[in-house]
A and B are shown apart, each in its own frame.
Chain A
Amino acid sequence: MSLSNILDNLSRFRQDAESERYGHHDYEHRFGMAIDLDICIGCNACSTACYAENNLPVVGKDYFEQGQAMHWMRIERYWDDEELEHPERGASFIPMMCQQCGAATCEPVCPVAATYHTPDGLNAQVYNRCIGSRYCSNNCPFRVRYFNFWSFYESSWPEPLNQQLNPDLSVRDKGVMEKCTFCIQRIRVAKDSAAREERNMIDGDVITACAQACPTNAIVFGDTMDPTSQVSLAWKKHEVKRGPYTHKEAKSDEEIRGYRVFDELNVDPSVMYLERVRDSEV
């Protein structure tokens, strides 16, 4: 059993390594996102929805200040230099969550393979397998992996708040790494119902909690392998492609705003952002 297991894995590994395609998976889907920062108003609704959907513990002020918060979806704020000619009014912000990288840096370093790539193009995190070495988080340039430093569940949902926990996924105890899953429980449900109805998944079958909650529809979620999906169209329109970073390819039009965060690190993120149009540019 075990030997054949090793040999199977080895031959698959060789196949992957020798294939010329970038990335080495036989994907069924590749879920991705497009986030328009110009529409985003930084209201944190996505973050709140994420807390509700994914049983994220509210850690409280003290732990938050220690940097131990569990916000899978966070709104990062940046302030412009005051000395700029046209400094931004207020903060610039960017919703940041796990980018479900195609060549994820977190995956090869996990000693027990608790994080791996699914055929859906997601970085899955297997809570039960995780031993908490935290190497994945150390190797994540986006710093979007969150570790259960304490048994947060003990205090986060006092009775009767525990009644509002989402039954579709677990509540995590201390010592386990977790991160944005692109609402994998919703993807599962959509896949199952599509299978029951004996059809393929279509665009709109799945919508993540953050995309659903966004009041301005800044977040578009879908399968980037489906050429007709909204997200594919957006990627195409803004000339962002899967695969390795090629910064030499200039965009056909300066108005095109698509980019991926830390693309130059060659991690192949699945989230495309659209640059904010600044006051000075209008």
Chain B
Amino acid sequence: MSQVIQDKVIDENLKWSKINHDLIRTMETPGKMWWTAVLVCVAMVACAVAAEIYQYKYGLGSVGLNNPHMWDMYIATFVFWIGMSHAGTLLSAILHIIHAQWRKPIYRFAEAMTTFSLMTAGFFPMIHLGRVWNLYWVLPYVSDRGIWPNFRSPLVWDAFAISTYLSASALFLVIGMIPDMAVLRDHTKGWRKKVYGLMALGWRGDDRQWRNFRRTYMLMACFLIPLAISVHSIVSSDFAMSIMPGWHITSFPPYFVAGALYSGCAAIMTLFVVLRYFYRWEDYMTKNIMEKTCKLTFAIAMVWTYLNLIEFSSVWYGHNVYDKELLIDKATGPYAAVFWTMIICGMVAPFGLVFQSWRRHMPTMFVMSIVLQISMFTERWMIVAPTLSMSHAPHQWDILWGSVIEWAIVFGSFGWFSLLFLLFCKFLPAISTYEVKELCFHLKHEIEEEKREAEQKAKNTSAAGSQQPVSGSPGLEGA
């Protein structure tokens, strides 16, 4: 117990120069590991590109789709990536607004993850179109024939929601990096200096700039939170707005948002461990922060579990024959293995986060986060596939496991995401130096404050004076 109390979010005595140096050293000439990782990712993407070329040329039949299964893994993977994108917003916007300080050293890469997973997700609705070359018809451009998209269709809402969210989160990422860009500008040479100088937008760090910066950042955060929630609600409408059993469920929007935060937190945990290990960032990505992330994940996992159970029980007691049969079939039919993987990995495994010794053990947490990710992936699969396999018309019941083409593209999407993330780590600051500095400063300030308070108290008690002790937590603004 004493260990927990002494354990700090971050060592407040970190030298600012050390923080700068620790960031810049990770962005130096890439080593062998980095190149290997990039090569692996490029190979994965190449698999997907080859598969996509084949599919483009010969048609969607190569994906193995058939009459009941008009959608399959593409849509499931799309929902998975969209879901992952919610973590960044959670950490950088929601936790920013509620002043959770511990988010500061880790929010930057989570935010980058948001943008990149959206960039990955965005491919899937395009890939899965039969005539992708007519994609722009979904957009409400002014046509001389007066033809508009169908504004009642959730797919059109998707197009709006995702493009808005992608541009807003990318903007948020770029804005949040301005002070760090200035640091990098001052510490690098050559072309990097030019690029970072441009991205720093003439940052000098004077009072006016900080004030404007904070205001903009807060405004963007407030804008992004409802956006993030609405995006996944709209993605859930793709299903909830239909009449299919297992899709037409009122609780889908909150269920999807909870699932999104869940998979996002799991992804943060994975990348946390990876960055901590490879960049030796133990000073910033401390075990304390991991613990807090784990607790947050656990809470979200419980919300998700609850919503899942609500869904099951409302189907069970609703006695809608189509829904109920589908639920029974999910649990006992051909997809049972996948379904139970989802239940065990998503509802039972998070209880491992209860143990402090587990939470503080990085390899365990790596495995745990992967387990949670698997649960989230299978969850999306179990939303999309079984409904189509066992919908209203029994004549059209079928099972689909997908073809090589389909799995290659799904596989490649992970490569694409990792590739973007690897490039990000080398070219942009994966850790927010200015917020870490701010955090150290505050902690120092707090400790001093406490000390002073204690001293005053001692004085007061000894003197039995009438003066009130100074109370209240130190302000969080300014740095």
Interface residues of chain A, those whose CB is within 8 Å of chain B, are 1-2, 5-6, 63, 66-69, 74, 76-78, 96, 105, 108-113, 129-135, 137-139, 141-143, 146-151, 174-177, 262, 265, 267
On chain B, the residues within 8 Å of A132 by CB distance are 60, 129-131
> Considering the complex, which residues of chain B in the window 126-140 have a beta carbon less than 8 Å from any beta carbon of chain A?
128-132, 134-135, 137-138
On chain A, the residues within 8 Å of B143 by CB distance are 2
Contact between chains at B241 and A109 (CB < 8 Å): yes
Contact between chains at A130 and B395 (CB < 8 Å): no
On chain B, the residues within 8 Å of A175 by CB distance are 59-60, 129-131
Give the distance to chain A from B151, nearest Cβ to Cβ, in Å.
Answer: 9
Contact between chains at B393 and A143 (CB < 8 Å): yes
On chain A, the residues within 8 Å of B59 by CB distance are 148-151, 174-175
Any A CB within 8 A of the CB of B391 = yes
Give the distance to chain B from A242, nearest Cβ to Cβ, in Å.
Answer: 19
> Considering the complex, which residues of chain B in the window 36-67 have a beta carbon less than 8 Å from any beta carbon of chain A?
58-62, 64-67
Give the distance to chain A from B164, nearest Cβ to Cβ, in Å.
Answer: 17
- Chain B's interface size range is 35 or more
Contact between chains at A138 and B392 (CB < 8 Å): no
Chain B residue at smallest Cβ distance from A138: B70
On chain A, the residues within 8 Å of B190 by CB distance are none
Q: A150 CA to B57 CA in the complex, in Å?
A: 9
Task: Please tell me which one of the listed residues A63, A67, A78, A131 contacts residue B134 in the complex, with CB atoms under 8 A apart.
Answer: A131
Task: Please tell me which one of the listed residues A78, A96, A139, A176 contacts residue B243 in the complex, with CB atoms under 8 A apart.
Answer: A139
Q: A141 CA to B393 CA in the complex, in Å?
A: 6
Given contact pairs A109-B241, A143-B68, A135 touches B130 in the complex (Cβ within 8 A): no
A sample of 18 cross-chain residue pairs with beta-carbon separation below 8 angstroms, ordered by A number, consists of: A2-B143, A5-B148, A66-B61, A66-B66, A67-B396, A108-B153, A109-B154, A109-B155, A109-B241, A113-B147, A129-B147, A131-B130, A133-B125, A135-B238, A141-B392, A149-B66, A174-B59, A175-B131
Chain A residue at smallest Cβ distance from B241: A109
Contact between chains at A143 and B391 (CB < 8 Å): yes
Give the distance to chain A from B248, nearest Cβ to Cβ, in Å.
Answer: 10
Give the distance to chain A from B271, nearest Cβ to Cβ, in Å.
Answer: 33
Contact between chains at B395 and A76 (CB < 8 Å): yes
Give the distance to chain B from A44, nearest Cβ to Cβ, in Å.
Answer: 15
Contact between chains at B243 and A135 (CB < 8 Å): no
Besides A139-B243, A149-B61, 20 more A-B contacts (Cβ < 8 Å) are A2-B142, A2-B146, A67-B398, A68-B67, A76-B395, A78-B394, A113-B148, A113-B150, A131-B130, A131-B138, A132-B130, A133-B130, A135-B70, A138-B244, A141-B391, A142-B392, A143-B393, A149-B59, A150-B61, A175-B59
Contact between chains at A176 and B130 (CB < 8 Å): yes
Chain A residue at smallest Cβ distance from B136: A131
Give the distance to chain A from B76, nearest Cβ to Cβ, in Å.
Answer: 13
Contact between chains at A176 and B393 (CB < 8 Å): no
Give the distance to chain A from B247, nearest Cβ to Cβ, in Å.
Answer: 8
Task: Please tell me which one of the listed residues A67, A142, A149 contacts residue B60 in the complex, with CB atoms under 8 A apart.
Answer: A149
Given contact pairs A63-B61, A131-B135, A265-B243, A147 touches B142 in the complex (Cβ within 8 A): no
Contact between chains at B393 and A135 (CB < 8 Å): no
On chain B, the residues within 8 Å of A137 by CB distance are 67, 70
On chain A, the residues within 8 Å of B65 by CB distance are 68, 134, 147, 149
Task: Please tell me which one of the listed residues B71, B130, B393 contacts residue A130 in the complex, with CB atoms under 8 A apart.
Answer: B130
Contact between chains at A113 and B149 (CB < 8 Å): yes
Q: A63 CA to B155 CA in the complex, in Å?
A: 29
Interface residues of chain B, those whose CB is within 8 Å of chain A, are 58-62, 64-71, 125, 128-132, 134-135, 137-138, 142-144, 146-150, 152-156, 159, 238, 241-244, 388, 391-396, 398
Contact between chains at B155 and A135 (CB < 8 Å): yes
Chain A residue at smallest Cβ distance from B384: A138
Q: A273 CA to B394 CA in the complex, in Å?
A: 17
Contact between chains at A134 and B392 (CB < 8 Å): no
On chain A, the residues within 8 Å of B67 by CB distance are 67-69, 137, 143, 146-147
Given contact pairs A111-B153, A148-B130, A131 touches B137 in the complex (Cβ within 8 A): yes
Chain B residue at smallest Cβ distance from A151: B59
Chain B residue at smallest Cβ distance from A143: B396
Given contact pairs A109-B155, A110-B150, A147 touches B398 in the complex (Cβ within 8 A): no
Give the distance to chain A from B436, nearest Cβ to Cβ, in Å.
Answer: 45
Q: A174 CA to B133 CA in the complex, in Å?
A: 12
Contact between chains at B130 and A174 (CB < 8 Å): yes
Contact between chains at A142 and B393 (CB < 8 Å): yes
Chain B residue at smallest Cβ distance from A128: B134
Task: Please tell me which one of the listed residues A6, A74, A135, A148 contacts residue B148 in the complex, with CB atoms under 8 A apart.
Answer: A6
Give the distance to chain A from B315, nearest Cβ to Cβ, in Å.
Answer: 17
On chain B, the residues within 8 Å of A146 by CB distance are 67
Give the distance to chain B from A23, nearest Cβ to Cβ, in Å.
Answer: 16
Q: A142 CA to B395 CA in the complex, in Å?
A: 9
